[in-house]
Each structure stands twice: as structure tokens, then as C-alpha cells.
Amino acid sequence: MTLREARVGQTVKVTKLTGTGPVKRRIMDMGITKGQLVHVLRVAPLGDPVEITVRGYELSVRKADCQMIEVEPVGEVA
């Protein structure tokens, strides 16, 4: 499952980053690393961007970048 497939309100754990080069570096610079918990806050009507919380910070992540972040669910929608 990728971050793009996570539902609004769900908390997921990052299991793998599949991006390469500068794309992977940009994702990691946002604090999204293996083992990190990510909470999906909202998704724009057309699916881009996806707004998340990581390490207490709210971030907007592009849909294409979300496809490169593999996750596993740890929390359900409230």
C-alpha cells in the first residue's frame, strides 16, 4: 500500500521509500523516513496535494511523491 492509498484520518507507518535520487532526498528532507508514523489530514478534491502530519509538522505532499512512499496501516479512521 502507498501513502496515496491511505484514507483521510488514518495513521500509517512508512515501510519503504521507492523514489530515487533527488526525489527520494526531497521526501527524506521532509522527515518522511522508514519507520516514521504519518497521519493523513486531508486530500485535495482532485487528489493533489495530500496533507499529512509528520513529527508534529503539517506538510503538503504531491500525489506523485505519495506513490513512492510505501506504508502499512497502524490506526483506523476516527
pLDDT score of 20 more than 90: no
So what CATH class is 3-75? Answer: mainly beta
Indicate the domain borders of the chain: 3-75
Whole-number percent of the chain with pLDDT over 70: 94
SS (H, E, C) 5-18: HCCCCCEEEEEEEC
Q: Is the pLDDT of residue 75 over 60?
A: no
**For 40-61, what is each residue's pLDDT tens digit?**
999 888 768 899 999 999 999 9
